[in-house]
Amino acid sequence: MSGPTTVSVLLPPGGASSPGEARAAITGFLETTGLEFEIVALDATLEYGAALRRGVSDARGRVIVVVDPELPYPVSAIGDVVAMIESGATDVVFGTGGTRRSSLVRWLLVPTLPDPGLRFAGFSSTAGKRVVSETKLDGVECALEIGFLVNKYGFRIETLTVDVPAHDATLNFFAQVAAAVRIRLTNRNMGYRAARRCPVCFSQEVWTCGQVTGNVIRSCRRCKCRYLHQFSDEDDTHPVRRVMRPAATQGDSTEDAHSDSARSKTSVRRVAILRRQLTARARLLEVGVRDGSFASAASRDYEYVGIDPVQTLARQARGRGFEVYCATLANFVNTGPAFDGIALFHVFENMPDPHDALARMKDLLKPGGLLLLTTFDTEGLLYLLTERKRMAQNFRTHLILYSRSALIELLENSGFEIDAIVPDFEYRDRKFLRHVVSSRWPAVAPIARMLLEILPEPLLVGTGSIRILAKRRAGPPANVRAIRSVEPTHAR
């Protein structure tokens, strides 16, 4: 960032101490930090919510901090808020002094709400101006409204514990419940700006369900999909490159990786599934060649072509004699006949636009051509049981996790006819299974290790994924993407 950090501190009227004492304490601290700052006194003639909206709209800082007039916490907490937001760790900070929030209010609204006994909060300029400007309530209950809207619009939230004396909630329990009901009714009546639509089904019923480093995970209540709120800004329009230089494949040495034998047996099993659907020497495209194990198995029976955007992986597969291009699905140019089949294994989750991806695959396939796709299922029992524990891990590389029902609707609207949807099984070696059991269920790890020693190596196990076989229908797909001309789907 250019220039010094600019901080706007909003100081409400009232409090046991005089406004001059609070202003002097804030000024004295911020002058020692070297930050450029301004202190905005909220209009005492207006109710708190109305005064806060005016103060935020007038604030010029990149970070907006709302403090309590009494300053019951150390003034250095303002610096902590500024550091958290300016570092990019979060968009919104709610100060908390340990007051217990009602579980009923959190159930009515969202899990993360401000401390009802403090007004202490910090916002990035973008988050503050969008969220606070959307509030409708004029009293101190607008703090609950801010917590609701921060979640609705998908901003990252962190809490900061401050050392304050015992304090009572500004709103009593009944006032909080009444405010929560009003907020919900306003939202139901479209009183707030609509959240960005789900990229899969275009519903507006999307909410924050978790946070990972640098991003927010959103959940669609209609299609049960999970997705990152912000996708990468990287441009996938780089030209297709034929990489001819061979490179040796490095062996896996980590405990959480699969052995070559496990990968190879999984690939052979997948090719056996294709044999029941495709004739010999059919033309087959794999999207995402990864380690090349499927290419090795499929090239014996089919005219195999692979694409992968990672140059190193494409080079390794090309060096082993496979026809592999360094390209994305969007910019791949097919110079031969249309394909009889397309296969992608846990690659669909990495595509930012599923509608465009399926339209492109439909164009590459012959009428009646086969699509073989494996992906996680957010409606599956294994995912539901381990969702919170696996949330951060799943979104280290994936953009969207789909539900079974969402994929059915998505494929049918994209011009495909579904033949089968079944659970997907993959081979795992003992080393990988020991790692999984030890990391997730350490109490039963010794027993699991003994059982693994008597089981075959590698072992066929369920992964919480589904396998879909679909065929391309003749004719154009349904124009479900026309809604994008009205409103964008998500923050990209």
Q: What is the DSSP string of 178-203?
A: HHHHHHHHHHHTT-SPPPPPPTTT--
**How far from each other are the two terminal CA atoms of the chain, in whole angstroms?**
21
Task: Please give the DSSP secondary-structure letter assigned to residue 440.
Answer: H
Residues 185 and 142 sit within 8 Å (Cβ to Cβ): no
| CA nearest neighbour of 184 among 157, 148, 220, 218 | 148
**How many other CB atoms sit within 10 Å of the CB of residue 300?**
9
pLDDT at 242: 40
Q: Where are the domains of the chain?
A: 6-188, 260-485
Grouping H, G, I as helix, E, B as strand and the rest as coil, residue 476 is coil
Distance CA 373, CA 471 (A): 11
Both structure tokens of 327: 């390209």
pLDDT at 482: 53
Residue 290 backbone zone (phi > 0: left; psi -120 to 50: alpha; other: beta) = left
In our burial notation (b when 16+ CB lie closer than 10 A, e otherwise), range 53-68 reads bbbbeebebbbbbbbb
pLDDT at 169: 67
**How many other CB atoms sit within 10 Å of the CB of residue 112?**
18
Distance CA 73, CA 97 (A): 9
Residues 427 and 456 sit within 8 Å (Cβ to Cβ): no
Residues 370 and 342 sit within 8 Å (Cβ to Cβ): yes
Which is it for the CA torsion 323, 325, 329, 335, positive or negative?
Answer: negative
pTM for the model: 0.80
Is 6-188 a CATH 3.30.420.60 domain? no
CATH T-level assignment (fold) for domain 260-485: Rossmann fold (3.40.50)
Q: DSSP secondary structure string, 368-386?
A: EEEEEEEEE-TTSHHHHHH
Q: Angle, to 10 degrees, between the axis of helix 125-134 and the axis of helix 48-58?
A: 140
The answer to whether domain 6-188 and domain 260-485 are alike in fold is no
Distance CA 157, CA 139 (A): 23
CA torsion, points 314, 316, 321, 324, in degrees to nearest 10?
-10
| CA nearest neighbour of 349 among 304, 395, 303, 314 | 395
**How many other CB atoms sit within 10 Å of the CB of residue 443?**
8
Which residue's structure tokens are 């800004």? 233
pLDDT at 253: 41
Which residue's structure tokens are 């799943």? 394
Residues 75 and 29 sit within 8 Å (Cβ to Cβ): yes
Q: DSSP secondary structure string, 221-271?
A: TTT--EEESB-------PPPB------PPPPP-STTSPPHHHHHHHHHHHH
Grouping H, G, I as helix, E, B as strand and the rest as coil, residue 208 is strand
Per-residue pLDDT of the chain (492 residues; tens, 9 = 90+): 445 668 999 998 875 556 678 889 999 999 998 889 999 999 989 999 999 999 999 999 999 999 998 888 999 999 999 999 999 889 999 998 866 667 888 889 988 889 888 889 999 999 999 999 999 999 889 999 999 999 999 999 999 999 887 666 677 888 899 999 999 999 989 899 888 889 999 988 898 888 887 788 999 999 999 999 888 655 444 444 444 333 334 444 444 455 668 888 999 999 999 999 999 999 999 999 988 899 999 999 999 999 999 889 889 899 899 999 999 998 999 988 999 999 999 999 999 999 999 999 999 999 999 999 999 999 888 787 777 667 767 787 889 999 999 999 999 999 999 999 999 998 888 777 777 777 667 777 778 778 877 777 787 888 889 999 999 987 666 555 554 444 455 533
